[in-house]
Amino acid sequence: MEKKIAHFTIDNKECTATTGVSIINAARENGIFIPTLCHYEGVKPAGSCRVCTVKVNKRHLTACTTPVAEGMEIEVDTAELNDLRSSVIELLFTEGNHYCPACEKSGNCELQALAYRFGIMAPRFPYQFNERDVDASHPKIYHDHNRCILCKRCIRIIKDEKDLPAGSQGRSIFAFNQRAKKVKIKLDDRLGKELSDELAQKAMDICPVGSILVKETGFKTPIGQRKFDKEAISLDNSINLKAMKEAHHE
């Protein structure tokens, strides 16, 4: 099938991309960064965090779930939208218990990196201090529910692919347990027991916060050399760039 090219504008800049790709990728092709949090390249977008919210023809839409189309007028880097993104990040910081000084992921954490990028000095919302627990029962990983932002990346990305017929998707090893305020991520009882070292490491790497941690590996990188210590999160160092490269290798 012939690929159709869409013409659209981002912050008044003329852009082109293949019709149907997500606004995030269309922007990337034109060198424009849209901040994301739950989005992971190559898996079905969830649109759960709303950090990538943009304005398309004056309406708010999530850039990860909206395909680009001919004639769209997209706003990305405006004061109003950046304030909206900042408020989403502040909500996440006050809803969970994010003690950055005591977190192994600090410096490599995408939630923290976004807060740095938006220059958040203190959140505008009151802290909730909700009661959450830490599950250290698994032999390979910790699960710190204080930090979980329920982005579903682990559910969407970490799959068991053993003994499966070709073409099928694999079973999720992580899942949501319970509902509403009580909802939390849980490992599948049987598949979790067989979690390989590679998948455990991958789960830690793709977790945007410090909720999934591989045991006995903490604080490896010294302060000053961590991913976001010197560089703000951007197109060049976002996890989606890495995911994209991996997808191309396959």
Partner 1 sequence: MSKPVIATTSLAGCFGCHMSFLDIDERILDLIELVEFNKSPIDDIKSFTKDCDIGLIEGGCCNTENIHILKEFRKKCKILVSFGECAIMGGLPAMRNDIPVKECLAEAYLSGPSTVNEEGILPNDEELPIILDKVYPCHEIVKMDYHLPGCPPRADLIWEVLHALILDVDIDLPYELIKYD
Contacts with partner 1, residue ranges (CB under 8 A):
93, 97, 99-103, 106-107, 112, 115-116, 119, 121-123, 126-127, 129-132, 223, 229-232
Inter-residue contact 161 to 127 (CB < 8 Å): no
Which residue's CB is nearer to partner 1, number 83 or number 231? 231
d(CA 93, CA 105): 15
Least Cβ distance, residue 32 to partner 1 (angstroms)? 20
- Residue 230 C-beta: closest distance to partner 1, Å: 6
Determine if residue 134 is left, alpha or beta; phi over 0 gives left, psi from -120 to 50 gives alpha, anything else beta: beta
Q: Which is nearer to partner 1, 99 or 176 (CB)?
A: 99
Query: Which C-beta is closer to partner 1: that of 30 or that of 87?
Result: 87
By beta-carbon proximity to partner 1, the closer residue of 62 and 112 is 112
Q: Which residues pair with 212 in a beta bridge?
A: 143
User: Long-range contacts: 110-115, Cβ < 8 Å, 24+?
Assistant: 110/37, 110/208, 110/209, 110/233, 110/239, 111/37, 111/149, 111/208, 111/209, 112/209, 112/228, 113/227, 113/228, 113/232, 113/233, 114/35, 114/37, 114/51, 114/85, 114/89, 114/233, 115/89, 115/90
Closer to partner 1 by Cβ: residue 6 or 37: 37
CB of 167 to partner 1, least distance (A): 44
Shortest Cβ 121–partner 1 spacing (Å):
4
Residue 154 Cβ vs partner 1, minimum distance, rounded to whole Å:
23
